[in-house]
Structure 1
């Protein structure tokens, strides 16, 4: 549900843009309002699960997420929708870390745990596949509001079934690091707002400079708090293992480049190529389907090859796909270039990042499961949000410098954003080079 909600909204963005009168740069807040709150509160959600019980946090979070989806589907104005997306982010932050922590602590046998964590990755990829197609179908046939309403029956069923079948979890002594949660969430939100503001008003604008400086200061304060707190939201011991630390780094960098593809390519297909929402959803099918196929292969490939060849191959494929998208023109057809790019991105995203869940969670002690799951999903979501903000900034700057028809201006901004995404993939590749080859711990 959590991943599906991201991709469903991607396909619906042009309709939301028109119906609720969002600005071009402000439209990204439909995505960022959810990602920022979700990412910023995941660490707090993981620690709260340790304190109040992971089963309880899971059920409460799913219920809030479901109710917020209903409210968002009824939104008459842009602020109303943004508020509902914020509430969805809070609910997701309560349920998300508890999901990973419950799986990690219930399934303790190593081989079984790896299989379960790989299945978790597979369900996330299934969310992408289902979200892109269902989002297109719902938006085309019933309007963009149905993309939010679809969460209600599934969320209600998940909450009821969790009450009946999920085992209770032992509460562990923990203290909620509220100063850390506040500074992390506020710092990330302020930074992203600064990037969005730069896209509209330029880097020299006083508000842009001020918000970026405040965001950086808040994040520095957060790190200081974490160093000095006895029970931090982000335990530094999670990063003591070199392989796990590298996996965390790629869990942050990968979505910065990869997830932006859905945002910008959706705009290109619908605004430049005049494709319907349904056709746009099916245009992403090669990416989504191949991500799911790759994830199904990870439990077999990871013990045999180790994380290094998988992540290196994946990042190369992803970078090649993004490089092709950086060559888009106003008359570029879906076949062959866009099709090849979506195939490369599907294989690349699946190979590069699916092993990371297993690498990070398979060796985490039970008492750190909530914090480790929260940190994993925090880096993933904040990387996605910050990456989109940076690339929207580059998009806005390049679009202002492009002359010609509205389609040419849009393509000029989109290709600049994809070029920057390729640069981020290069950083991801360099981190992947630090992974070990075949190791006993991944088997």
Structure 2
């Protein structure tokens, strides 16, 4: 049930990526707007995760999970019936809101159910496998549904899945009581507004340029709002984000590594989808299958790294090695041209990318939540998810901007060039930036993370903490 709930959250980060060209054609939204179908979900999800964790502590894990699953199913059904791009984007944002209630519960339950470090390491392995495999599976499912039914079924498919997850939550989980803790709604609003302003600012650079008053104003507002959020959290007795969580060197390193990794990775999924469908002429289903080698490479290495390497090798070395290999995979993908075939332009890079990612997620998740106080377990879990989703939001907006600008410059420098060649050039430039961001993440892991391997200890005890570590 935990895996199913987490899979639901991760699937919807990518399930519409393959279907996006079909949805765009059906609903008629612009190229500049298409990124928001993906970003609206990840931004709402990441921006509200901390508040979601606190809500889970207040009303209890079971109630929170049931509320999140139910709401997710309802807005998915509405989104499937969307008659405009704006309605679809609004429903995607609503999905992100309810996903923010689900995710803190799933990761907190791992810490509750698996107190032994060895068993917890295996559980994190499954969790990390779901994080990456779920994203790749979303591409395959999205392609299949779009090919044989309609892109709308990429939303409708969530309804039966949420029904099964809800049944599992109601029948398997005990009714854990909530706790009388304060919800910092104002702090949550300020923090989320700061993140929205940042991503919205990056997202408008492609249309209006870096010197646009709107872009500059949004980015300045994001800095001010996030600074205000930090001040608010330092003065609250029950903050959404206790600053001790992010001032711990190892956890800060894990969070920073995950942000930069996500910035580099998620935007490239969108470009690869359009390369396969619009440049190479792949159908949605064939596009989904084209991502399977990435999934297979990741799952094979992830299983080995969590059982054999995580208890023996320091996380910094696993992360640095994996991210460097993943960066090499992205560099290989930047060799693609309009004439490239799948076998020489896409496959080698995505296999290397998948191999590298196999040693990233589990060490990062384990480091981010290791040795936190019982009162901070869920907060650390929620902030790890926040790091992933906010990185994905920024990455999609930022890399889309880089690609659009590179395409425009290339067209200006080569009058009469085919539009598709300029478009692919934009993808290549964005890919180089993405690879550089992965190398930056690897450097952060080496410099900041000093944690020892996650070996089991004899004094590991069962914990009874809730979503934010509150007993229950």
Give the TM-score taking structure 1 as reference length.
Answer: 0.96
Shift of residue 42 of structure 1? Answer: 0.1
Seen in structure 2, the aligned counterparts of structure 1 residues 437 and 198 have a Cα distance that, compared at 3 Å, is: closer
User: Quick one: distance in 2 between partners of 1:56 and 1:107?
Assistant: 21
User: Quick one: distance in 2 between partners of 1:438 and 1:399?
Assistant: 43
Q: For each residue in 1:108-166, what CA deviation from the matched residue of structure 2 results, as whole angstroms up to 9, or x when unmatched?
A: 23332222222222222331232121111111111111111111101011011100101
Q: What stretches of structure 1 of length at least 5 have no aligned partner?
A: none
Aligned pairs for 1:223-238 within 5 A: 223-238=230-245
Of 110, 122, 138, which aligns to 2:117?
Answer: 110
Q: For each residue in 1:233-286, what CA deviation from the matched residue of structure 2 results, as whole angstroms up to 9, or x when unmatched?
A: 111222343222211111111111011221111111111111111111111111
Q: Paired residue for 2:13? A: 6
Q: Paired residue for 2:342? A: 334
Q: For each residue in 1:304-331, what CA deviation from the matched residue of structure 2 results, as whole angstroms up to 9, or x when unmatched?
A: 2221221111111111111122232111
Residue 381 (structure 2) pairs with residue 368 (structure 1) = no
User: Quick one: distance in 1 between partners of 2:443 and 2:453?
Assistant: 23
Residue 434 of structure 2 aligns to a residue whose secondary structure is helix
Q: For each residue in 1:37-90, what CA deviation from the matched residue of structure 2 results, as whole angstroms up to 9, or x when unmatched?
A: 000000000111111112211110011111111111111111110111111011
User: Quick one: distance in 1 between partners of 2:370 and 2:198?
Assistant: 32
Residues 320 and 445 in structure 2, CA contact (< 8 A), matched pair in contact too:
yes
User: Quick one: distance in 2 between partners of 1:414 and 1:240?
Assistant: 36
Aligned pairs for 1:52-131 within 5 A: 52-131=59-138
Residues 305 and 438 in structure 1, CA contact (< 8 A), matched pair in contact too:
no
Aligned pairs for 1:81-230 within 5 A: 81-230=88-237
Residue 420 (structure 2) pairs with residue 407 (structure 1) = yes
Residues 104 and 362 in structure 1, CA contact (< 8 A), matched pair in contact too:
no
User: Quick one: distance in 2 between partners of 1:274 and 1:239?
Assistant: 45
Residues 307 and 435 in structure 1, CA contact (< 8 A), matched pair in contact too:
no
Residues 100 and 373 in structure 1, CA contact (< 8 A), matched pair in contact too:
yes
Seen in structure 2, the aligned counterparts of structure 1 residues 129 and 400 have a Cα distance that, compared at 3 Å, is: closer
Residues 254 and 353 in structure 1, CA contact (< 8 A), matched pair in contact too:
no
Q: Paired residue for 1:318? A: 326
Q: Paired residue for 1:277? A: 284
Instruction: Please tell me the root mean square deviation across aligned C-alpha atoms, in Å.
Output: 1.6
User: Quick one: distance in 1 between partners of 2:453 and 2:287?
Assistant: 43
Seen in structure 2, the aligned counterparts of structure 1 residues 34 and 185 have a Cα distance that, compared at 3 Å, is: same
Give the TM-score taking structure 2 as reference length.
Answer: 0.90
